[in-house]
Structure 1
């Protein structure tokens, strides 16, 4: 059964209940929270094509590698698991996160910093990394 989260202006909701936030004035702009997971994203280079994923203690959990020419990105975790986030439509409003060609998470981005996330197994790290790529 697919579950759904919504985001609106930096807040993440499950049904009507806030469960996380990002790009909030009260937190640093590179800090994202979902449930008990708190991550920071730090650009390694000036072009922001390589971004480190860190936990709240600044331990590196993985990297995001953004494509130069397309809007796709690879997420590589320290345990060597690799995921790909790529557009699923012409207008870049739908995105899918894949692991070895198996769809894990679908993001739908709407105007005015709104959207929804559909998933079967909740992985806070992957959800937040996907949100970072879409909203960066």
Structure 2
């Protein structure tokens, strides 16, 4: 901090023009600092070279899972635990966006898929139908003859 309240950043190496420090107002400093902070739930790890997913030698480098030990005597009705390769869409939504995709936002009840719309012409029809089903109507008014 300088005497007038501004922030002075000393550079590791002087710039090509010989400048060795940058003086910023507190707001400018915070703006530049906030720019460096990644948004929440954004993946920051990037693999390149032999660790990239398309690398031909990745299998030789990445450690394999530990082998499953076999029992000396089989236990009846015991199935080996199979680990799923992929997470469900609801778990992915919960993990990345903190959204519970299996619960209704208004009542908290369980949700289930009712169908898939694959053609764009049917999207407006389906959404319109869902709105009509969801909207509650007012109670009927009694006609009073006075």
**TM-score, with normalisation over the residues of structure 1?**
0.20
- Please say which structure displays the higher CA radius of gyration: 2
Larger strand percent: 1
Larger helix percent: 2
**Higher relative CO (CA 8 A, sep ≥ 6), structure 1 or 2?**
1
